[in-house]
Structure 1
Amino acid sequence: MLHIRILAPVAMTDAVIEILNEEDAVSGLAVVRGSSLKPPGDLVLAHVAREAGNDVITRLRALGVHREGSIEIDEVRTWLSRSGFDAEVRTPGSSADAVVWADVAQRSYEETELNWTYLSFMTLATVIAAIAIVLDSQILVIGAMVLGPEFGAVAALGVALVRRRFVLFGLAIRTLVLGFVAAIAVTFVLVLVGRTLGWITMDDVIGSRPGTAFIYTPDKWSFIVAVIAAAAGVLALTSSKAGGLTGVFISVTTVPAAGNIALGAAFGVGSAIWGSTLQLLINLTGMALAGWATLAVQQAVWSRVSVRRARALHRPYRML
């Protein structure tokens, strides 16, 4: 169930009410006249079955409400309503599978914002990854993977391509590139400090590391795992069930590869640099392609569901 809150200018309120009132997926509708001060107008509240969220939001956007007023969309986790249940039953599709593209796009823009928080998490994750490699600790590698914030920007690449938002594509590329460059640079400086203090030696970089050797030795499985993990991650981001994201974070070797690049650069070990760089590029490419493909399939499926729903609206509804 979605809760849609609209601040509508007076001239648009009746048109907004008409759109919502004639929509079978709307189970609740309320209007508070004259309650909006900015913009001057009315507050419209509606409960909408998640499966029909895209269609309703598209019609409101076509009306231009978001230009002169605002449309807010909230996920209702728990609700008790017979009319709400009936609305979900007669709306084709599944609420868990439904993709609310406005929400996906909003989250993509937020995840691609290059700010100090993003750079801090990326840098801290890369530093932990470098320490994990020195200690040959798989647990620390997993910690670095979970801490890394890069998946949101990678997923945004697929959203940008599928929804044709090329500004978002550019922002995602910039965030990924500058984020990894900054994190590697800071880690490189810290590794140099550790080398000067004698805390990190050449043996730590080129010695036997059975627990973390996969970081700088990419193979076909690196790409396959990246593809599968990204597909699962995008499904978790776009559906109402997001429990699979942690598994995605600990499946791809982006941040650990960045940490090993910094280690290799500090000690002048070319094999570590190039092996890790290749691992990083393979993972990012696989994730970006899988994210795009998964979103493209979801868009195609839900376009068909929208057509089925439009046809169903012209048939009488009967409770079974």
Structure 2
Amino acid sequence: MLHLRLIVPADRTEEVLHLLESTVGTTHLAVLSGAARDPKGDVVLCDVAREAGDGLLAQLRAMDLDRHGSIAIENIDLSLSHRADRAEKEAPGEGADAVLWESLTDATHEESTLSVTYLAFLTLATMIAACGVVLDNAILIVGAMAVGPEFGPLAGICTALVQRAPRLAWRSLQALLVGFAVAMVVTVGFSLFMDAVGLFHIEALDAKRPNTNFIYRPDWFSFVVAVLAGIAGVLSLTSAKSGALVGVAISVTTVPAAANAAVALGYQEYGQAWHSMEQLLLNLAGIVLAGTLTLATQKLLWARHDTGPALG
């Protein structure tokens, strides 16, 4: 269930109440007349089944309530109410399958922001992966994968393509390209420093490296894994099962490939650097393709459900 807190201009309250009362899956409706001060208006509270949430939000925005009032949404972790149970049964579809497009767009917009924190996490992840590459240490590679925040911009690109949001697409693409560029440049400097103090050696990079040589040897399995990870990642976002994102992060060779390319560039091993970049691009393409198709499929399937106002 979702909890909605609305601030409604007094002259629009009856219209909003009629919409809420006639929408399948809503319950626990409460009105606090004149309670809002900024902006001025009435406070309207209600609970709505997740399945009906996206349709209701679209209609509230169509009434310009987000401009003249306020729309706030919270997830309800526990609701002990027969009315809530009945509302969820009446709403078509399953809550776990429902996609809140407004929430997804907002979340991916935040996760794809080119911030100092984002750059720090991506750079640190790439530097950790660089250590894993030189040491041929799979544990460090997995750790670097988990630290990397690059799935946020990738999900943003997928969402932008499906929702036709060019601003979100540009913001996400900028975060992805600038983020990896900065991380790789810093990691090149880090590698040269580590070599100067005797901790990195070119011999380690040129060794057989049985645990990490897959990073610069892209093949169709790399693409297949990226596709599967892209599907799982998008499903984890849309179903609010964010715990699965950790598994997604350690399934794709994005950060390790960027790290291997950076270390190879530092030693002027251009062949290995190029193959690492191929691995990086192959993984990014697979995730974006799979994520976009997954979101498009979800949008198509969910469009068949009627979550609008109840008839009669």
Category of TM-score, reference length = shorter chain: over 0.9
Q: Secondary structure at the match of 1:268?
A: coil
Letter in 2 for 1:266: G
Report the more deviating stretch, 219-228 or 6-15: 6-15
Deviations 1:218-266 (A, max 9, x none): 0000000000001011001001333321110110000001111110111
What does 1:39-118 align with in structure 2 at a 5 Å threshold?
39-118=39-118
Name 2:283's counterpart in structure 1.
283
Work out the number of aligned pairs and report it. 312
Question: Post-superposition shift, 1:98?
Answer: 0.8
Letter in 2 for 1:225: V
For residues 242 and 124 of structure 2, what CA distance do their matches in structure 1 show? 24
Question: Post-superposition shift, 1:189?
Answer: 0.6
Letter in 2 for 1:198: G
- Calculate the aligned-residue CA RMSD, in Å: 1.2
Contact 1:154 1:288 in 2 (8 A): yes
Letter in 1 for 2:286: G
% identical aligned pairs: 44
Letter in 2 for 1:66: D
Q: Post-superposition, which runs of at least 4 consecutive aligned residues in structure 1 deviate over 2 A?
A: 240-243
Q: Structure 1 unaligned runs (5+)?
A: 316-320
Deviations 1:170-212 (A, max 9, x none): 0010000000001001111111111112211110111120000
Question: Post-superposition shift, 1:24?
Answer: 2.8
Contact 1:97 1:240 in 2 (8 A): no
1:119 counterpart = 2:119 = yes
Deviations 1:141-167 (A, max 9, x none): 000000000001101111001111011
Letter in 1 for 2:160: A
Name 2:255's counterpart in structure 1.
255
1:147 counterpart = 2:136 = no
Name 1:226's counterpart in structure 2.
226
For residues 255 and 142 of structure 2, what CA distance do their matches in structure 1 show? 10
Question: Post-superposition shift, 1:30?
Answer: 0.7
Letter in 1 for 2:82: R
Deviations 1:255-308 (A, max 9, x none): 0011111101110001221011000000000000001000000000110113xx
Letter in 1 for 2:246: T
Q: Secondary structure at the match of 2:124?
A: helix
Q: Secondary structure at the match of 1:96?
A: helix
Contact 2:146 2:250 in 1 (8 A): yes
For residues 32 and 105 of structure 1, what CA distance do their matches in structure 2 show? 30
What does 1:1-320 align with in structure 2 at a 5 Å threshold?
1-306=1-306, 309=307, 313-314=310-311
Contact 1:25 1:52 in 2 (8 A): yes
Report the more deviating stretch, 182-191 or 192-201: 192-201
Question: Post-superposition shift, 1:310?
Answer: 5.0
Deviations 1:29-48 (A, max 9, x none): 11111111111111111100
Q: Secondary structure at the match of 1:230?
A: helix
For residues 304 and 216 of structure 2, what CA distance do their matches in structure 1 show? 44
Contact 2:24 2:308 in 1 (8 A): no
Letter in 2 for 1:164: R
For residues 139 and 73 of structure 1, what CA distance do their matches in structure 2 show? 39
Deviations 1:52-74 (A, max 9, x none): 00111111011000011111111
Change (3 A) 1:44 1:314: closer
For residues 308 and 173 of structure 2, what CA distance do their matches in structure 1 show? 38
Letter in 1 for 2:221: W
Q: TM-score with structure 2 length normalisation?
A: 0.98
Contact 1:95 1:240 in 2 (8 A): no
For residues 191 and 200 of structure 1, what CA distance do their matches in structure 2 show? 7
Letter in 2 for 1:291: G
Contact 2:216 2:279 in 1 (8 A): yes
Q: Secondary structure at the match of 2:161?
A: helix
